[in-house]
Structure formats: structure tokens, C-alpha cells
Amino acid sequence: MGDKMILKGQVLSFTDSPFEAPPLDAARIDEALVLQDGKIRQVGGFDALRKAYPTADVTDYGGHVIMAGLIDAHAHYPQTAMIASWGKRLIDWLNTYTFPEEMKFGDEGYAAEIARRYLDLTTAHGTTTICSFCTIHPASVEAFFAEAKARGQRVVAGKTCMDRNAPDGLRDTAQSAYDDSRALLQRWHGEDRISYAITPRFSPTSTPEQLEAMGALWAEHPDCLMQTHLSEQVDEIEWVRSLYPGARDYLDTYEMYGLLGERGLYGHAIHLEPRERDRLAEVGAGLVHCPTSNMFIGSGLFDMGGLKDAGLLVGLATDTGGGSSFSMLRTMAAAYEVAQLRGCALHGAQLIWLATVGSAEALHMGDKIGNIAAGMEGDLVVLDLASTPAIAQRAGQASEIWEAMFATIMMGDDRAVADVWIGGKRVEGNAR
């Protein structure tokens, strides 16, 4: 048995979903937790834990909040260098900014440099798990997984497959997408904390043959996740309709080819038809809400209230670099704003839950990450609820923790991240 470590602070965990129970009843605060062998061993009162583990080292975070590391359930790490690019909507934005940048990832050295930079930036923002798209190049997947493995980080990613409506140099074929995805999956899926996700970008950039090949691969490896995009912009939906005239709706373009399932992750899902919504609920698939991206590219307002009421599984994500921030705090703030525009005021506990438990459940990893309890993996973020003068003066007026927490959610950034633990180890140096 390895060394034990006690972390003391305001330890925040969820005993229930704040979408199903009153938010204040769904969350609890303890005084301390014990880490051992990469996992959380026990949570409870400080004096009792101190007594039970008299030789353990203690890190005292005072009034800081210790909670599960943030989970970004949909990102494109290769878009790190072109985040915040001006003035385009989805299809133009892909053609003008994204595809030229993704073209560079055939170069292993460049892919490794951006994977390193991306994981440094996201860790600095308190994000400990990411589910990322890569590019069509196997080297882009290798680079991301190799870097995550070196850091002991739990990540999900896959080779982005596109065999039409993308420029020369950024298209594979149905067969090569199948072969390359399968080889990467066999090499990496289940290696340390790494999981492979079968990753067709979206229906417009795949031929029916490619979607069918991806569906076949998923049927052969049903324990993998499958990630893609769904109903992000109205123009895109029209385009999908013209490319797949036989489909009932956008979701049907996936369903027809075996790409609808419980382990499916559908990014955006803004303009859903009633049939799509019912089918997604019936199947138990995961939706991923990307609010900064949806506002930045002008896509629309996700119906958080309605979709949660309908029992859908929803995770939260930045959608870097369509999203305009690496920060899941900024993303929670944007989720609050988008929900407000749809007449729903999300509680701070619901926002934190979405960025931790919600994302973990969408990734089918709710038994490993996203919450603090005995047996869960030791991925933690420590938040300073008074990280800037503006936040500190607001937190000073707060009568309870969620009021203080909400100021950090709305106004906080990487300065609020006091510490990060990945796999039971404190992250040192530049990576934070």
C-alpha cells in the first residue's frame, strides 16, 4: 500500500443529482479526504481521519473548495492554436480556420507540441479529463494519447474521420478510416487510463459508406464510446437533409448506419426534432452541451431545462476551438446564460454537477471520475473562492457556500484554480 495523504478544506461531493433532488440536498460538504494509491480512500471529518491515519501527510487548503476535477466532454485539441478566430459561422469557420490548422497534424512533432500545450492549458484551468476529437491523421491520436499517458491522465479521444466535403489532404476513405481507427483502438483502448472513441466528425463530411464502416467498427467494439456532432446550426441541418434525402432527420443519418447507441455522445444537439429527442432519451445516449461555442459561432440556445426534464443524459464541454475558452468555469457561466435565455435559472450546484458528474456519466465513467467518494480516482481541483478582488468582495457578502461558489462560476478563470491532483498526485510546475 502506498503513502497516504490527507487533504483538508471544504470537500464538495454529490450524493444525488441536483436536477432530481433539491440542489442543496444533492450536495454535501465534508472536512477532509484521504488519498492513497491514486484513489480516494475515505471522506469525512478531519479529526476522525487524522486519528485513523496518524502517519499521513496533511495538506491544508483552508477555506478552499476541494472537488472532483472538471471534465470537458467534447473538445478538439488540434484547434488549440486557432481558438477565438473571428467572424464566421460553422461551415465557413471550418473551411477558413479549422481545416488549414488540422492539416498540420500529419506532422508528429507539431501534434506532440500542441498536445502538450493543450494539456498544460486545460490542467491549469482545473480540467482533469477531456473527451477530444483529433484529426484524420493517426499521428494526431498517437501524440494526444502518449502525452496523456505520460501524465497519468484519464482521457478519451479518437481519429476524426472525414471522406468528403473536406479539402485535399484532410480526407480519408471509408476503408482507411476503418483500418486506422481499428488499429488505434486496438493499441490504445484500455491502456492505463486511456479510452478510444470512434469518431466520425459529422454526417456532412462522411459518405454513407464511411458511416456504415464506423457503425461496423462500433458493433465490433461495443465497449467504446462513439462521438460526433448533431444539429448544431440550422444551415447545417439543411445541408444534411440534402446529402441524406432518405433520412427522417439528422439523427437518422447516424441511426441508419449503426451510430446511435447508449455509448454515443452527440455534441451540441440544439435544434432537435421531437422524434430525435425521444429516440435519444429512449436509447440513453449522451448529449454534450457546448455553450461558449454555441454563442461564439452563433448556433443557438440548447434547451437544458427541457432536455433534463425529459431525462436526457447531458455533459458539459468547451468545444475548443469553436468554444471561446479552455475554462470549464467560463463554460458553466455560459451554460447559465444560455439557460436563462430559455427561461431556466440553473443553480450553482447544477452547473458544477454538469461539469463533473454529468460529464462523467455521459462518458460512462461515473463510477471512476467526476465525484468524491471512497474508491473514486484521485482527480481533484482545489478552487479559491476569492481569487480576484472582484470575486473576493462578492464572496465576502455570501451567506452560504453556493452563493460564494456562484461568484467564482460567473467571474472565475484559471486564477481560481489553487491546485490540481491527477491520479492521486499533485500536478507540479508549468502544467498548472
Interacting residue ranges for Zn ion, rule: CB under 5 A: 267, 319
CB contact burial 161-182 (16+ within 10 A = b; e otherwise): bbbebbeeebbbbbebbbebbb
d(CA 98, CA 132): 15
Shortest separation between residue 267's beta carbon and Zn ion, angstroms:
5
**Residue 11, burial from CB neighbour count under 10 angstroms (0-12, 13-18, 19+):** buried
Q: Which is nearer to Zn ion, 252 or 319 (CB)?
A: 319
Shortest separation between residue 319's beta carbon and Zn ion, angstroms:
5
Q: Which is nearer to Zn ion, 18 or 200 (CB)?
A: 200
d(CA 197, CA 185): 8
Q: Which residue(s) pair with 66 in the sheet?
A: 11, 382
Shortest separation between residue 102's beta carbon and Zn ion, angstroms:
12
Shortest separation between residue 76's beta carbon and Zn ion, angstroms:
6
Between the alpha carbon of residue 213 and those of residues 206, 218, 220, the distances in Å are: 10, 9, 11
Q: Which is nearer to Zn ion, 34 or 338 (CB)?
A: 338
Residue indicated by cell numbers 466528425: 201
Shortest separation between residue 229's beta carbon and Zn ion, angstroms:
6
Shortest separation between residue 317's beta carbon and Zn ion, angstroms:
8
Q: Is 297 helix (H, G, I), strand (E, B) or coil?
A: coil
Q: Which is nearer to Zn ion, 126 or 267 (CB)?
A: 267
Q: Which is nearer to Zn ion, 172 or 319 (CB)?
A: 319
Q: Which is nearer to Zn ion, 319 or 419 (CB)?
A: 319
Alpha carbons within 13 angstroms on the beta-carbon side of residue 112 total 6
Q: Which residue is nearest to Zn ion (CB)?
A: 319
Angle, vertex CA 238, rays to CA 232 and CA 239, nearest 5? 90
Between the alpha carbon of residue 298 and those of residues 27, 34, 348, the distances in Å are: 34, 45, 25
Q: Which is nearer to Zn ion, 94 or 103 (CB)?
A: 94
Shortest separation between residue 228's beta carbon and Zn ion, angstroms:
9
Between the alpha carbon of residue 153 and those of residues 197, 201, 376, 397, 423, the distances in Å are: 16, 24, 14, 37, 7
